Chains A and B, each alone.
Chain A
């Protein structure tokens, strides 16, 4: 124990002595970690953001399919679903997408009824008369609008419509409200020209969560043209998509990792004659091969941990302070909007473990053989110069 501690002390001292030599390696190492770390942090933050926003979503959503495509669902279906035992409440929802040619962005337009009323973090109030609306912070930012301003939208009859902004969703709220424009339901029906008998989908509340699956089956049995989707399924889909994206990104950045490993190998192989002489002296003075291997192990660990720390701090700053400018275009890319939407800084243990495993293990493995080559330096060479 004492022996290892003393060897560790010796190693750290000699690393500090040679810091200039290790600096370039450290920078590249930290950069590699920062790159991989940014990908992990960003996707993880987006994933949590998405799943958090779904927490308020209804347990079960029923859509209608026609020819394999989404269709408007008859409001009458709501009554038939409500009649099933175990169903607490069925709310027809009206919502849709709107592309604004002027600002070149997609928005989500939603009628206030049912779930929209649960949205919190509002400044101002929800639309209370037919020409009022509430908008997400992304929308407000893109139009440069504030509460009391008027929003011009073009409806499905090519008519300009003016809505007064009565409320604003605060910046701290999540992905879902960012591109949201909330309108009274009747106003939205006029806007999209959806008749009273139809809705976009039905939100179903259920008494007992365990019955979700059974109810979904029943709904599909009674109404064969519908597609019931449970909240957990949406969650799985989101999670899978984000995992897939970050996995892909990681796979791409693995190339960087390999390049780094080659550099590490090269650095470790080409030790300076000064260092070689030093190891020779140590061996002549009675250091065993195992002791020199221990030096090399501590050295690798010290460099790795330093680079790891620097790398994750850099990744943190890049993702959560700067908003991941280098990655957002690739990873978010599912909609044109999203000005700057702030990510909630969240990192869990698994992210760090993954990152450590992906970077430190290959590094240590790469430097192992060169370390051994140094460690078996013949002590006798010190006697002849």
Chain B
């Protein structure tokens, strides 16, 4: 068992008129090396659930365990360290820093660590080579094509060698060719032993053979497995 969530609730703007129950009583377990897709219409709480599982935010109630350790009550600084060490994030809009180079973007998660610069560079070169970006290292992120930007985002998610990859609507802004490319990369990562969590409403993704389990969400609650 890698990730275990028990009765997770996330309420935004509590005790205020615009109170919102983004995640409501969600329990789930994710095994190592599983590839789980969470589907559901927009506003169903997929992103909130991912951010809870990925230690981006703390639940209003309930708890999250990561490899047997309860992480949901930790102070924010510990959550940051956990994000850095255990999770790689691929965001919907890539979220690259546009004015800096590819290699600088990729190395960002390693800056607040004790890893020396020379080692960081080696790791960066390796990851970029893996994703066929070796020749783009010095190019600024805003000069890249959409596909390249996506691969940079993946490289950045992989640089800290995390156990879990979390992808939030990764194909939302991609054409089908790039979406295929993305799923191919994810397949390779899966084979390398990574656990992958994807929030998506794109059938192309959740019907892909890579996905071992599909969970459906609506109104903040999990409607159970669509396919497993």
Contact = CB atoms under 8 A, between A and B. Distances in A.
Q: Do A and B contact each other directly (Cβ–Cβ < 8 Å)?
A: yes
Interface stretch (A49-57, A206-214, A218-226, A281-289): A281-289
A335 interface: no
The SS class assigned to the A binding surface is: helix
Interface string A1-22: 0110011011001100100000
Contact of B56 (A2, A13, A288, A379): A379
Given A2-B115, A7-B112, A286-B85, A382 B95 contact: yes
A379 B50 CA distance: 13
A31 B97 CA distance: 33
A231 to B, nearest CB: 61
Contact of B80 (A6, A283, A382, A383): A283
Interface string B57-78: 1000000000000000000110
B81 A285 contact: no
Contacts of B76: 288-289
A378 interface: yes
B81 A288 contact: yes
Contacts of A288: 76-77, 80-81, 112
Contacts of A17: 99-100
A378 B81 contact: no
B50 A6 contact: no
Given A290-B77, A383-B91, A285 B156 contact: yes
B81 to A, nearest CB: 7
Interface in A250-308: 277-278, 281-291
Contacts of A6: 111-112, 117
A6 B114 CA distance: 9
Contacts of A385: 92-93
Contact of A286 (B47, B51, B160): B160
Nearest 6 interchain pairs by C-beta: A286-B84, A291-B112, A288-B80, A286-B83, A285-B109, A380-B57
Residue from A13, A282, A285, A289 whose CB has the most chain B CB atoms within 10 Å? A285
B89 interface: yes
A2 B76 CA distance: 22
B70 to A, nearest CB: 19
A285 B83 contact: yes
Contact of B51 (A277, A283, A289, A380): A380
A157 interface: no
B108 interface: yes
B51 A287 contact: no
Interface of B: 47, 50-51, 56-57, 76-77, 80-85, 87, 89, 91-93, 95-97, 99-100, 104, 108-109, 111-117, 156, 160, 168
A327 to B, nearest CB: 42
B118 to A, nearest CB: 11
A286 B112 contact: yes
B91 A382 contact: yes
Contacts of A9: 117
Interface string A350-385: 000000000000000000000000000011101111
A324 to B, nearest CB: 42
A13 B100 contact: yes
Contact of B114 (A2, A10, A277, A286): A2
B80 A286 contact: yes
B198 to A, nearest CB: 14
B112 A287 contact: yes
A294 to B, nearest CB: 8
A287 B91 contact: no
B80 A287 contact: yes
Contacts of A286: 80-85, 87, 109, 112, 160
26 contacts: A2-B115, A3-B111, A6-B112, A7-B111, A9-B117, A14-B100, A17-B99, A277-B95, A281-B95, A284-B91, A285-B83, A285-B156, A286-B80, A286-B84, A286-B87, A286-B109, A288-B76, A288-B80, A289-B77, A290-B77, A379-B57, A379-B80, A380-B51, A383-B47, A384-B47, A385-B93
A380 B95 contact: no
B97 to A, nearest CB: 6
A7 B117 CA distance: 11
Nearest to B79: A379
A284 B95 contact: yes
A20 B85 CA distance: 35
A3 B77 contact: no
Contacts of A291: 111-112
A347 B160 CA distance: 51
A379 to B, nearest CB: 5
B106 to A, nearest CB: 11
B57 to A, nearest CB: 5
Nearest to B77: A288
Interface in A302-359: none
Residue from B50, B96, B112 whose CB has the most chain A CB atoms within 10 Å? B112
Nearest to B87: A286
A290 B75 CA distance: 12
B56 A281 contact: no
Contacts of A379: 56-57, 80, 83
B51 A383 contact: yes
A288 B80 CA distance: 5
Nearest to B57: A380
A289 B115 CA distance: 19
